[in-house]
Every structure is written in C-alpha cells, then in structure tokens.
Structure 1
C-alpha cells in the first residue's frame, strides 16, 4: 500500500492512527512533533503525511508550509488533523497547502478512507 508519515503529539491518538492504518495495509512511520516530521520526510520520503496542527515546537501548519517549500517534498499529499474546526482554521490549513483537513475527534475508519481517497486522487 503506502508509506504514511504521522506526526501527532498525543500518544493515544498516534497509536490509534498507527493501528488503523497498519490494519488497512499501510506502513506507518510515526513521530511526536513537527521537527521530527520534517526530518523523517527528508530521510525517507513518504507517500502521504498526516500532521496534527497543534504540536509543540513546530505546528502542523508550519510543517506543511515547509514541506511545500522544499522541492523534494513539495508534491507530497498532506492531511491535517486538528480539534480546530472554525472555518478560518480550515482555510488556514488549506491555504498552507494541505490536501485535506480532518477534525478531531474522528472515526478511524473515516480517517483510513480519507487517506485512501487522497492517495487515489494524487496518484492519478
């Protein structure tokens, strides 16, 4: 299937995401902060990136912008995960370059379906 980079600072949510994505056949590389996400994306380019918006040190929005700025990662599909559901928050995420925006709490099945959908759309 796909190599998925997950950056989520909440260990319980991260474990749930890992479990569901591995259950659907993906290989998951999970980190707990934005700086580690940037490093991981450069070391082994994933097929898709899932970023928590609110992480210590470097937000998911900032990571998204940086990934879009770097030529080697500019085309990576990115999904933002966040508890922030205001229209302006969604607009900020999409303007930063995200391909999708999922509001917490989310269904693990819906998350897996959205990952599949973004991968299908970006691989076409």
Structure 2
C-alpha cells in the first residue's frame, strides 16, 4: 500500500504544470531522485512503448489525371496527407508556401519539367534537405544519373504499384501506418468525417484520463482509455493501441501507470491528433 501511495504522489507531481512546482520541491534532491528512479521507458518485457505514427505531408507534382488519381488513392490508403499540383511551376510555388516532408515529382510536365523544378526547389537553403523522388516513364538514357544530377533522392518507373511507393517510403525512413479502408467501407468521405471527429475528441479524452487518474477513479480512467484505444485501431494505429491496452490492463489490476507511461500517452496523443488534422486537409 505504501508503494502504491508513493507512485500516486509521484504521478501527481509530474502531471502538475511546472509553475505549480514550488522551489522547495525543485531543490529537494531526494524527491527528484525518486521520481527518476521510478520512470519507465519500456513495458514489463523491456520492449519500447508503442508509438503513434507522425503525420507526413507529400507534394505530388503530376499532370496526368490517371496517375494523380492512382497516387492519391495509394497515399490515402497509407494514411499520408498530400497536395496535388500539375506542373513544375506550381510545385516550386507550393513548396515555398507550405511545409512538405516529401515531393513526388513527374519528369515530363507542361510549363516546367520535374528536373528543372527539382533544381529550383533544392537551390533554396530552406528546402535543400527536402527529399524529392522522380516519377518517370522514360526508357532511354541514364535515368539514375539524371535524377542524381538534379538532386533527386530516388525515382520510380511508370507504371508503378502501391508497393513501389511503399518501398521508397521505407528506404527514406518514413514510418507509415496504413489506414484500414475496410473500416470505412472504402469511402473517403466517411474516412474524412471520422478522422475529423476523432481529432476533435482526443483533447477531451486526454483531459478525462488525467482527471480520473488524479482522482484515483480507475474505472472512469479506463473508460476514457478504452475509447482512445478504439479510435487508434479504427485508423490503423495498432502499436499505439497496444500500448493503451497495457495501461488499461494496469488499471484493471488497480495499478497506477508509471509517470513516464502517462507522459508517453500524452505526447503520442498529440502526435496522433496532428496526423489526423493533416489527413483531413
């Protein structure tokens, strides 16, 4: 019982806003040492906590409507936010106006081709590290050298498949959580409506979890976590859902989750909300 009460007190200290921590606590080395000794960075098996996938924003520069439709379909399934433009001039302008994590750039476009647009984008110091991947149906010449000379990281040959896009994302170290479109009857409008609702609910559910844990009302805290877990599974955030399940299991056993676990929950709920907001654009 004493150990449980100590965990609750530690938890309350870490959840309180910084300005509420008095100088006496801040200077109390013993209390701070206890807090950090009880901080957990993994679950009981030593495995890292499951995390929510960060939102990815992709610019697609492609003038062919068929290719636009296919790429949009694939990126939606992968849970990736995107913007479509139809030529190199629009691509250069879009990158200046908005932050992107990746550009998919067609070679042959009206007004300005992809290679020239790539050079213009990367010439700007603020965009010099932006990954650009070429999209080409070219079958002559040294395509790889052309891409490298323009500053492109990679290229995908047309016609391409979903697996080709996934392979490039993996090589560029983008971690994606595909959307289980069957959960939405493959209806993009239903998906958008649902993720908007989930994104709007996350702050209130996070607050409810915090308040109920501080009040030691484990059943209500578990109820809020259960709802969050369901939302995560619905949009394909399975690793994070597993982590939330661990918290539920602890509450079922009347065990207060460690402070680091709760901080991990809060941080990743923010990440999830940001990703869903991006997807609704």
Provide the TM-score with structure 1 as the length reference.
Answer: 0.90
Deviation at 1:87, TM superposition (A): 4.6
Q: Which residue of 2 aligns with 1:35?
A: 89
Give the distance between the partners of 2:169 and 2:67, measured in 1 at CA: 16
Matches within 5 A, 1:99-110: 99-110=153-164
Runs of 4+ in 1 over 3 A off after TM superposition: none
Matches within 5 A, 1:30-69: 30-69=84-123
Structure 1 unmatched ranges of 5 or more: none
Partners of 2:135 and 2:149 in 1: how far apart?
Answer: 15
Task: Decide whether the 8 Å contact of 1:21 with 1:112 is kept in 2.
Answer: no
Quote the residue 1:5 is aligned against.
Answer: 59
Given candidates 150, 153, 159, the residue that maps to 1:96 is 150
Q: Shift of residue 119 of structure 1? A: 4.1
Q: CA RMSD in A?
A: 1.6
* Offset from partner CA, 1:56-85 (integer Å, 9 cap, x none): 110100011111101111110010000013
Residue 113 of structure 1: CA displacement?
2.6
The residue matched to 1:111 in structure 2 has which SS?
helix
Task: Check whether the contact 2:156–2:164 (CA below 8 A) recurs between aligned residues.
Answer: no
Cα deviation digits, residues 16-46 of structure 1 (max 9, x gap): 1011011101101111111111111110020
Count of residue pairs brought into register by the alignment: 121
Asked whether the equivalents of residues 4 and 50 of structure 1 are also in contact (C-alpha less than 8 Å), the reply is yes
Relative to its length, the structure with more strand (as a share) is: 1
Q: TM-score, normalised by structure 2?
A: 0.41
- Uncovered stretches (5+) of structure 2, i.e. residues with no partner: 1-54, 175-281
Greater percentage in helix: 2
